[in-house]
Amino acid sequence: MPEDELEDLPGVGPATADKLVENGFESYQSIAVASPGEMSNTADIGESSASDIINAARDAADVGGFETGATVLERRQEIGKLSWQIDEVDDLLGGGIETQSITEVYGEFGSGKSQVTHQMAVNVQLSKENGGLEGGCIFVDSEDTFRPERIDDMVRGLDDEILADEMERREIEGTPGSEEAMEELIDAFLDQIHVAKAFNSNHQILLAEKAKELAGEHEEGEWPIRIVCVDSLTAHFRAEYVGRGELAERQQKLNKHLHDLMRIGDLFNTAILVTNQVASNPDSYFGDPTQAIGGNILGHASTFRIYLRKSKGNKRIVRLVDAPNLADGEAVMRVQGEGLKPE
């Protein structure tokens, strides 16, 4: 949106419009879904003025009102489904990972959470006919888990028909059997994965804001951002806020971070995929004592919750724990050198 259109809002002159754009409030919709406190803090605008600007933007953008179920259904037709390339898991998830939603994957160390984020960073770039979303990936790395070598392995692990389609889409000469063509294709995949390492929780929160800016920059381009992966969501928060005395502050910051991520999903039709650590519940005498950390804040914010559990060898149990419109259930997959594969 050109800056001069923001000046149509009451109380927004050229200087205020510049401040809004610099801080990511580039459209009526992004202003309409902000809070007065957030705008006041980030754009250095008085809270009363921010409230007036937000209300005017809500009227102009026509958000915040009621709509019929039929209208909601029509809008949901825009939601994309990102395939795992594993039929059993896709069936469990109703077609795959949804855009405009937060999908949480939790499990103990070595269960394959990071493998899922790497695989989705590849799968999201595939054509829609092949289960992808024809878009790029933002990867927020808080545990130093991102490895371009894994992307290399997973691209090579794609079916030959999919590889041939991708080479044609990206105008790469050659066949999947040509090492030179494969290396060019792998570089093309890596070019559409935007990685940032988060050094602490505050930096991680800042990176979510930067991710929103990056998604906005790419929205009209050839490769719009269609997935944001955060691996892991909770590691820094868990390490920095220790003990019950700091629990409330931790949960408050985590809540804000989740809402920032959800806003990216809503504004740009993007899937949000986060991994989560677990803790063992010593009070559990029956069943699996493993519990996801993050408490009710994360439980309520996540639209889909998936529990990854180790099985024999490279087998993993994918258990759907919570979803608004799907039954709980389990599927089996393998974590192999060439990526996630059917049993």
Q: Binding-site residues for ATP, please?
A: 107-114
Burial degree of 13 (CB within 10 A; 0-12, 13-18, 19+)? exposed
DSSP state of 94: T
Q: Report d(CA 195, CA 228) in Å as an integer.
A: 10
Contact 192, 223 (CB under 8 A): yes
Contact 25, 34 (CB under 8 A): yes
Q: Report d(CA 198, CA 206) in Å as an integer.
A: 9
Helices (H), the chain: 3-6, 14-22, 28-32, 36-43, 47-61, 69-76, 87-92, 113-123, 148-156, 160-169, 179-191, 201-218, 235-240, 247-268, 295-301
Contact 278, 292 (CB under 8 A): yes
Residue in the structure block whose two tokens are 């898991």: 89
Q: Report d(CA 184, CA 181) in Å as an integer.
A: 5
Name the binding residues.
Answer: 107-114
Q: Report d(CA 255, CA 297) in Å as an integer.
A: 6
Please measure the distance between the N-terminal and C-terminal CA atoms of the chain and give it in whole angstroms: 48
